[in-house]
Structure 1
Amino acid sequence: MDTEAETQQTDVARGAPLAAVGCYLIWGSCPLFWALLNDVDPVELIGQRIAWSLVLTVIACKFILKVDFIALLRDARARRFLIPSGLLVMVNWSLYIVAMVTNNVVEASLGYYINPLVSIVLGLVVFRERLTPLQVAATALSAAGVIYFAVSYGSFPWIALSLAFTFGIYGAVKKRGGYPAVPTIAVEGIVALPFAIVALVAVAVAGKSAFFSPDMSLAAWQTRLLLVLTGPVTAVPLILFATAANKTPLSLIGFIQYISPTLSLLSGVLVLGEPFTSAHAVCFACIWTGAVLVIADAIRKQVRQR
């Protein structure tokens, strides 16, 4: 039985980087989804996102996984990790929505370019992870590209830095806690729920709610459906991220994270019409050269193990 359990744990650990890749592929494509909701008040978007992701994870816990996520709220140690993580992810979501609805997709992508460096530093400092020489070179290249991009951006990128640090610290808290993915997302949703209720009530009272609007046209119902879909768009990648964070070194997650801002940046430039400058080109070249070094290092390790 012990051998079987160890085998299952090993399988999960091996699949964790794939969960991270899936997570960042979804997140990288999200600007195209949020662009469909540009006409919705950002305060309502934040509230709907929290509420529907909570509904989805509670259903998954109750009827699919059959786990008692409320037990985590009774656990003093779990509360020490999950209350801060719930507040951090709520702040991160809010900043991201603000960036999307104010046409700051490029600055948001800059934040998620900086975020992997935060994750790598946290992995080294908090979890005592070690980088190989190739990973050190990759980190230096990526940092150089991000710094050049930030300096060339032309103004202080407060949204980018806030996104990077809130999500970087969120990932470290999740890893330190080590709790199962879906129940923890449900608990984080409960932590954020009072803020969601206040947001939704405030928008409804102001007569700006798209979901509770008296408009019964086809376009209004399409908007309501998109608002419901903010649940899975939010919860699914978060579940994949929590799965990856528990079983993958933060330094490795840091490199995988570059998938998301690259896709976001391409979406902003190719689809949403934001400019692509020489600063973007330098940043891309540095980061993807670093990514090639990391891939080469991983292949080298596999060859040695075999």
Structure 2
Amino acid sequence: MNEQRAGLAYGFAAYGMWGLFPLFWPLLEPAGAGEILAHRMLWSLIVACVILLALRRWSWIPGVLRQPKRMAAIALASTVISINWGIYIWGVNSGYVVETALGYFINPLVSIAFGVVLLRERLRPFQWAAVGIGASAVVVLAIGYGRPPWIALALAFSFGTYSLVKKKVGLDGVESFAAETSVQFLPALAYLLFMGSQGESTFTSEGVGHTLLLASAGAVTAVPLIAFGASAVRLPLSTIGLMQYLAPTFQFLIGLAVFHESMPPERWAGFALVWLALALLTWDALRTAGQGRRQAAALRAQQAAAPAGDTDADAEATASKDALRP
């Protein structure tokens, strides 16, 4: 029970911090999105190195360096998440907070679509229905915005790609964060040095407070990620799946209440369809997980009740196991 409570606390902290990001990035102005992104990359590696040093977790590095394919996957993941970060920072600071929230609402639907198209996964009927409703929502939102919701789609597809690539990387949270930011470090440093040579950097020209805020971008990136890792090892996947909607919900509310973004009826209709699709998806996942637990419990009870050497019971148990396999 204590572990579950700690997991919930860490999870709320992680998603709460992610949900409050729209309040942080505008504080870094007059720095542009490119400069903010570069500082986020640069200082994130420094924070990652401090964490690894404190935990003494260096042993994984030689193994990764001996695997070119794994290093290529890390480089690809780093590139994709950099694109995601850049679009998100630009979207928030350009007044599209609600649309950035939409991107993370539809991300689970994009991940399902990737599973079907790229991994040849089979969908259950309710999952197909959720994807269809999500596609309809994009059409409705395109009408409401007068254009396709490009920011939301770019965020959803880039993060979906990032999640897909990370499966091939196979590193834990802190190690993965350190590996990806090590790829980002040199391009970020080169960009910042170039900006400084052109007199366009704001790092030292806007006061000490501005300098400290830019430097804090690394910690702001790392802390919720660490909290999420601590939550993920303490909570069931189904609980984590439900909590993932907290961050875009906070972002959506901030867009409405703090930044006073307009929400005409067409946009409300589009968001309502997205939420309907997510509700359907969540219900189906919980229902399927419950069925799996009941079948597993029945199988254990059957095995416990069967006498030793009962070949009929053994055969029946084996058949039940086969039924549980995907």
Percent sequence identity is 38
Q: Counterparts of 2:261 and 2:38 in 1: how far apart (Å)?
A: 27
Residue pair 1:137, 1:290 contacting (<8 A) in 2 also? yes
Which of these residues, 69, 82, 90, is aligned with residue 77 of structure 1? 69
- Tell which structure's C-alpha radius of gyration is larger: 2
Amino acid aligned to 1:103: G
Shift of 1:85: 0.6
Q: Distance in 2 between matches of 1:101 and 1:293?
A: 32
Is 1:39 the counterpart of 2:39? The answer is no
Q: Does 1:283 align with 2:270?
A: yes
Corresponding residue number in structure 2 for 1:3: none
> 1:201 is matched with which residue?
193
Contact 1:29 1:263 in 2 (8 A): yes
Match of 2:54 among 63, 75, 80: 63
Q: How does 1:1-306 map to 2 (within 5 A)?
A: 23-71=14-62, 72-213=64-205, 220-238=207-225, 257-301=244-288, 303-304=290-291, 305-306=293-294
Give the direction of change, closer, same or farther, for the CA distance of 1:196–1:189 in structure 2 (3 Å limit): same
Shift of 1:26: 3.1
For 1:21 and 1:120, locate their aligned partners in 2 and report how far apart those are by CA, in whole Å: 25
Change in Cα spacing, 1:88 to 1:240, as seen in structure 2 (3 Å) is farther
Judged with a 3 Å threshold, the aligned counterparts in structure 2 of structure 1 residues 240 and 98 are, in CA distance, closer, same or farther, namely same
Question: Do the aligned partners of 1:142 and 1:290 also contact (CA within 8 Å) in 2?
Answer: yes
The CA deviation string for residues 186-233 of structure 1, in whole angstroms up to 9 with x for no partner, is 1111111122112211222233333223x5xxxx33222222221122
Instruction: Say whether the 8 Å CA contact 1:61–1:68 is kept in structure 2.
Output: no
The alpha carbon displacement at 1:23 in A equals 4.9
Deviation larger for 266-275 or 146-155: 146-155
Counterpart CA distance in 2 for 1:301 and 1:43 is: 43
1:87-120, Cα deviation, whole Å (9 max, x unpaired): 1111221222222222222332333344332211
Q: CA deviation at 1:238?
A: 4.7
Match of 1:4 in 2: none
Task: Give the AA of the match of 2:287.
Answer: R
- Runs (5+) with no aligned partner, structure 2: 295-326
Alignment gaps of 5+ in structure 1:
1-10
Paired AA for residue 128 in structure 2: V
Tell me, in whole angstroms, the C-alpha distance in 2 between the residues paired with 1:128 and 1:251.
23
Contact between 1:69 and 1:184, CA under 8 Å: does it hold in 2?
no
The answer to whether the 8 Å contact 2:238/2:286 transfers is no
Higher mean C-alpha displacement, 167-176 vs 122-131: 122-131
Aligned partners of 2:209 and 2:44: how far apart in 1? 19
Per the alignment, in what secondary structure is the counterpart of residue 36 of structure 1? helix
Q: Do the aligned partners of 2:84 and 2:159 also contact (CA within 8 Å) in 1?
A: yes
RMSD value, Cα: 3.6
State which drifts further: 255-264 or 142-151.
255-264
Shift of 1:128: 4.5
Q: Which secondary structure state, in structure 1, belongs to the residue aligned with residue 20 of structure 2? A: helix
Structure 1 pair 180–110 and aligned structure 2 pair: CA distance change class (3 A): same
TM-score (norm 2): 0.74
Mapped contact 1:43–1:200 kept (Cα < 8 A): no
- Indicate conservation of the 8 Å contact 1:57/1:186, yes or no: yes
Structure 1 residues 127, 31: closer, same or farther in 2, change over 3 A? same
Answer with 122-131 or 19-28: which moved more: 19-28
Cα distance in 1 for residues equivalent to 2:223 and 2:190: 24
Which amino acid in 1 is paired with 2:178?
Answer: A
TM-score normalized by the length of structure 1? 0.78
Asked whether the equivalents of residues 121 and 251 of structure 1 are also in contact (C-alpha less than 8 Å), the reply is no
In structure 1, what is the Cα distance between the partners aligned to 2:114 and 2:48? 28
What's the CA shift for 1:258? 4.2
